Chain A
């Protein structure tokens, strides 16, 4: 059965390039951070100028931009917020993502922009949702501990918009309820200083029934990554307004791939009213080509169990495809210019990922510097000329097949 309505696809935009890539690959909306007030102190984030350019790029294409202000701000941090809000108002930003009640209040007092409650506020039940509605928020980004069915209950009870994470890394703790970094690194995890202590190996001492200490080594606090593409039907049925992908710190390959895969899946379900297992396998296969920590559906159906723990060291897996480059410029029938992210060489098989449709692979037979000097191997952070490939566009991502 066809549906006219479909959830919004909300993608991360860690910088201007990723914003353009995500939107070009089909995201309905992107979320991004300014230089302050968000939870990614080490990310590129957006300058005022880049914000203006990003909003213009999105709005020209009918897409939305949400700005994260989801730190638990201290008094002194709040002092600078009204000026930033005035600027965001002037850009006609589409929403602000906020977790702290003082920030909600400040946003409502100093701007006209709708406020979305951040997942950092861990809003997980109908009564809490009613509270936040009274505080003036227009959308709930519910905690990742909630099932899709429960999220639907919150929506029906409050008539607020509801947004849920569908993909990406997850906190093991209730969001906003972890201060390990504050006490072990002197960095406020809820103001952007999270040191990801949960991703390390721990030595655990248990006392057995004879009071003897037994030791175990384990990555016991590290969560697998969320992947909910197989559950899209549930998101549609419960009327979840927005499905969100985590990952502002990840690269253009990630921004492009997740936007393309979820765009195709959402459109397919809206068109056909079902998802065949073969489709799901194909989409999951594409998502598995991205760096990840094994996938789980976490609590989207039932509360996350012990199989949601990622008990391995990070970055130890070989990937089927790796980010190679982003297309910077296309001169039709002559050449394409790509910015190299990861090296490849003559004889490697690379593929470009079009904004929609199937990837196109080819064996690299020749390549040159911008100055037309032939090269055998590319170097990261350089521009390289490749022969023109029909259909390729600026901002397409290029992958190296391993």
Chain B
């Protein structure tokens, strides 16, 4: 596995060269979400001289008006020292496929949690696809499966900030700052987590997790599953830690402790072992509302103690005297009854009540409003 990283100046490129980090990402302020480079040509030229590959990052999401401005600006760039381009917006992908000949690194970090979709992306970009940048929410086992199934090198973030939120709106300057780039931190009344890093810049507002992603303990495992690139983003940290990461990737496990101690913020392995972000869903759901079958007759809308309960009959259902029914209360209690008498809303005794009308049955203890009524056989 190779390491790649973002660089912003000559010194950082030197450090990459010294540590044999042979691919760097150039984040231009107009094209990259949190990029701050005004000019990439000089850095790209230096990298070229050092034999370091350069990747131009175009990962902002663009409305049509913004896209047209980006495309105009993009035409002015000298790309001769650029080795590849990485894109996320399908518009940027289309543009680069049609207007450049550069290899494509496709960022699929947002969603893209199924192989059917990934294979479709792979097939569409075809020979121009140099790499797929996948989500850090994929557990190791899934990542392994994908790497085996996709015949293209894969990259994930192994050390760096976790982006939680990306808005085009400027949400911080309204609070009183007039800087072009605003850096702050936020703590929500809702969450026990405190101090989410915040950035507002020309592209909008970004919020990051309070902990950075770190798979430093698992670099060897990632190599074994044939992860091609592990991305390290130290732009908000001490860039010299790149030396430690490079030594760790070369096998020096003592570096793990140093990286952890000197990193400057808490670290998490995120979803690397397991992703259970759907296990709470059944608890969000009212069990009473789970699927009903053909036996469903209607819902109890009203109960009058010792008098009656009223069922609103559903479409294509009828309730007939002598019919056996099951009533499921909101608490899950089941009550079985035989319909002995049924009345309409005028309290007239009927032989049956059709769909769409109210059916009044004699009161039965335990039947509550919102109970569901089913055929019992």
Instruction: List A residues at the B interface (Cβ < 8 Å).
Output: 35, 41-42, 44-45, 47-50, 53, 56-57, 72-75, 77-78, 99-106, 122-132, 134-135, 143, 145-147, 150, 153-154, 172-174, 176-180, 182-188, 190-193, 195, 197-198, 200-207, 214, 216, 218, 220-221, 223, 299, 303-306, 308-309, 328-329, 331, 334-335, 337, 339, 369-373, 381-383, 385, 394
Contact = CB atoms under 8 A, between A and B. Distances in A.
Contacts, number: 292
Nearest to B94: A127
B162 A309 contact: no
Contact of B292 (A47, A220, A329): A47
Interface stretch (B7-15, B22-30, B176-184, B253-261): B176-184
A28 to B, nearest CB: 21
A223 B171 CA distance: 10
Interface in B129-157: 137, 142
A47 B62 contact: no
Given A127-B95, A306-B170, A206 B280 contact: no
B292 A328 contact: no
A174 B168 contact: yes
Contacts of B111: 72, 99-100, 176, 190
Contacts of A369: 302, 304
B94 A44 contact: no
Nearest to A102: B117
B301 A328 contact: yes
A273 B204 CA distance: 38
15 contacts: A74-B275, A101-B121, A102-B114, A131-B93, A146-B63, A172-B171, A179-B165, A184-B193, A191-B278, A193-B280, A206-B172, A306-B169, A373-B304, A382-B302, A383-B301
A236 B125 CA distance: 36
Contacts of A198: 165
Contacts of B375: none
B186 A197 contact: no
A177 B182 contact: no
B88 to A, nearest CB: 10
B91 interface: yes
B166 A174 contact: yes
A35 B162 CA distance: 31
Interface in B108-136: 110-118, 120-121, 124
A143 B209 CA distance: 25
Contacts of B216: none
Contact of B281 (A145, A193, A203): A193
B166 A178 contact: yes
Interface in B253-302: 270, 275-281, 284-286, 289-294, 296, 301-302
A319 to B, nearest CB: 25
Contacts of B169: 172, 223, 303-306, 308-309
B63 A145 contact: yes
Residue in A42, A50, A383 with the greatest tally of chain B CB atoms within 10 Å: A383
A381 B188 CA distance: 35
Residue in B63, B92, B289 with the greatest tally of chain A CB atoms within 10 Å: B63
Interface string B353-377: 0001110100000000110000000
B304 A102 contact: no
A126 B64 contact: yes
A44 B292 CA distance: 12
B67 A126 contact: yes
Contacts of B142: 75
Nearest to B116: A102
A173 B112 contact: no
Contact of A182 (B95, B183, B277, B310): B277
Given A146-B64, A329-B357, A337-B358, A370 B310 contact: yes
Contact of A73 (B93, B114, B270, B281): B114
B316 interface: yes
B308 A216 contact: no
Nearest to B113: A74
Given A101-B112, A205-B185, A205-B186, 11 more contacts: A41-B284, A47-B290, A47-B296, A72-B112, A72-B113, A100-B117, A124-B64, A131-B90, A299-B63, A331-B345, A370-B360
A206 B290 contact: no
A99 B114 CA distance: 13
B168 A145 contact: yes
B198 interface: yes
A178 B315 contact: no
A157 to B, nearest CB: 9
Contacts of A182: 137, 164, 277
Contacts of A372: 347
A75 B113 contact: yes
A220 B171 contact: yes
B368 to A, nearest CB: 9
